[in-house]
Structure 1
């Protein structure tokens, strides 16, 4: 068989095979078999040496025409296979537009974040500045600058996570107060609240956690009195728990305040008559407070004879538990949507209004 006849037969054979194929991989195999470096059509070029010189250019043109014909057939077949794949996929993924749509659930603030924001908004409205600080803190700012020297027994109440002898995870947000006072270089007024996470070695149970949130407040200026503290906390209690709430101050001890008090609110469930929430006393403890200790002011560079101040600290976790009737603090940190969605406000798409 002459080379021209052999070339024509190979071309027709390749085109027939291409037209009968339905898989991309088979197309690639055919392309390699006929048109690759070792393909049968490509191999005919090597046989041109047996032809007379005057016939070689014409035969070379015929080989190129054959290659182009096979390549065109492969391209058309590939396009056909691709189109069939798309049509098959569209058919299998057809959407029935008459079906009811799927409702999209929207996110909302975590109840703990909501409480923190509510407290921040309340105090910002009173002219306070929101200040945040480091969660990894030095022993000096966490204890010593707050009138808690290394030998002070009150440190035992704040059993801590130490990273080194002088660095620890902060046990309260009070270091923010100490750093802020120091940065003011003895000049008042200072009026701040300090929200954030704190860490203490504690057992994880229904009312305790090794990590929890805290918000502390600090006011330092001339002629600040205990009555200013009482009025501020009374305003806070009424705004947070209802206008009919009352507060009482009980003597207590904190190294960084003198005098110090524990602050209770009248029970919002039994109205002071005694129930399971207030353990029959009619009162619920919500925070600690007191007048800033002169030593703390002096260490920060303030003249304690000219300036005075008050400080308070509360746990938003506890405030949220009381406000919303949550019995287990661990619910805040398990990220269970069944829990979180109970506290969606109406504007968040929920049915429960927890803003009251």
Structure 2
């Protein structure tokens, strides 16, 4: 009988006490949904006799109103936060509190690098991560046939022979170009930032990483100034007694150029997997700014000289904290990040 069903459902609605918003939503779907009980009852109501309709019509409408009012009441309770409260909850107990986070190890090391160079008078400069060919390559003395222009090294966004290529920057040297174009010497700044290169991801390489590059342009700047600046940085970062050596190298934007090694901070120079048994680890490239680069930026290379250097923050962090896998820096593994909670923020 339809009347018996309504009585049964009425009792169920009256006794309904949800413990969560999900149970409230389930109640709505069960009784008030497009395929719910009330819809079924109204479909069934169409088939009853005219005599029963006069009696059941009012009963059915009252039942529908009861379900709607019950749903509205419990819904408002959950929205206000009053429903489902544990009456036995002891509000005098201390709260659990929030777990403190920490800075990312790359952020810690970047900040330390910045603070070291600030002591030498270097300011911080930043620039866009999407660059044109001029600022990323041409102004820095990269020949047209240089391998860094090829697709296997650079993430090109748009290759246009007429208007110039657009790409994700491969180094923060582009910020140096922008600084020299828009100002007048002397310049003394470092450029920290994220860079991108089309490399296979492994424990020793990634398609994006972080760099800090430095630039000092003034009258009578020499290679000796470069060596003393970087020697000071190494002593501050890794401690007194850390040895330094320079090896001749080649970069399109510096001449002469060098790579700088430090004695391995993990094995102390005795030989380990990090230094491949040599006792030395390369941490940066450097050199005197090529006169062509100065001229490209509107600076008189007969009057001014300068030096530049660039290092990967990941490499510096690896040596400082003995981290062997670059992928840990970008995987958001809480177990790894929690190890740095004790570091000074």
Q: Please tell me the TM-score bracket, short chain as reference.
A: 0.7 to 0.9
Instruction: Name the counterpart of 2:245.
Output: 248
8 A Cα contact 2:204 2:326, kept in partner: yes
Structure 1 CA distance for aligned equivalents of residues 83 and 12 of structure 2? 13
Distance 1:340 1:89 in 2: 36
Q: Report the secondary structure of 2:295's partner residue.
A: helix
Distance 1:88 1:331 in 2: 43
Gaps of 5+ in 2: 1-6, 15-30, 32-53, 55-65, 160-164
1:330 has 2:324 as partner: no
What secondary structure sits across from 1:179 in the alignment? Answer: helix
The aligned counterpart of 2:181 is: 182
Cα distance 1:175–1:88, how it changes in 2: closer, same or farther (>3 A)?
Answer: closer
Counterpart Cα distance in 2 of 1:228 and 1:341: 39
CA RMSD across the alignment: 4.0
**Contact kept? 1:154, 1:255, Cα under 8 Å:** no
CA deviation string 1:143-173 (max 9, x = no partner):
0000013223454597111111111111111
Task: Tell me if 1:312 matches 2:309.
Answer: yes
**Paired residue for 2:122?**
128
Q: 1:199 aligns with which of 196, 200, 205?
A: 196
- Other-structure match for 1:63: none
Tell me the distance in 2 between the aligned counterparts of 1:264 and 1:158.
27
2:254 aligned partner: 257
Partner of residue 131 from structure 2, selected from 137, 156, 166 = 137
Corresponding residue for residue 89 of structure 1: 84
CA offset digits 1:128-157 (Å, max 9, x no partner):
111111111001110000001322345459
Whole-angstrom CA distance in 2 between matches of 1:326 and 1:346: 15
Q: Considering only CA atoms, is the larger Rg found in Structure 1 or Structure 2? A: 1
**1:156/1:227 CA distance change after superposition, 3 Å:** farther
The C-alpha deviation readout for 1:237-284, integer Å capped at 9, x for no partner, is 111111111211100000000000000011223333333332222211
SS class of match (1:203): coil
1:269 to 250, 262, 266: 266
SS in 2 for 1:141: helix
1:287 matched to 2:284? The reply is yes
Counterpart of 1:107? 101
Q: How many residues align?
A: 296
Match in the other structure for 1:168: 167
Secondary structure in structure 2 of the residue aligned to 1:181: helix
Residue aligning to 2:231: 234
Contact 1:158 1:171 in 2 (8 A): no
What is the CA–CA distance in structure 1 between the aligned matches of 2:256 and 2:343, rounded to whole Å? Answer: 44
Whole-Å Cα distance in 2 between the matches of residues 298 and 346 of structure 1?
44
Point out which structure has higher relative CO (alpha carbons under 8 A, 6+ apart). Answer: 2
Query: Of the candidates 134, 148, 168, which is equivalent to residue 142 of structure 2?
Result: 148
Q: Does 1:300 align with 2:297?
A: yes
Give the drift of 1:22: 8.9
Q: 1:156 to 1:243 in 2, by over 3 A?
A: farther
State TM-score, norm by structure 1.
0.71
Residue 223 to residue 275, structure 1, CA distance change in 2 (3 Å): same
Q: TM-score, normalised by structure 2?
A: 0.74
Mapped to 2, the partners of 1:324 and 1:108 lie a distance apart of 15
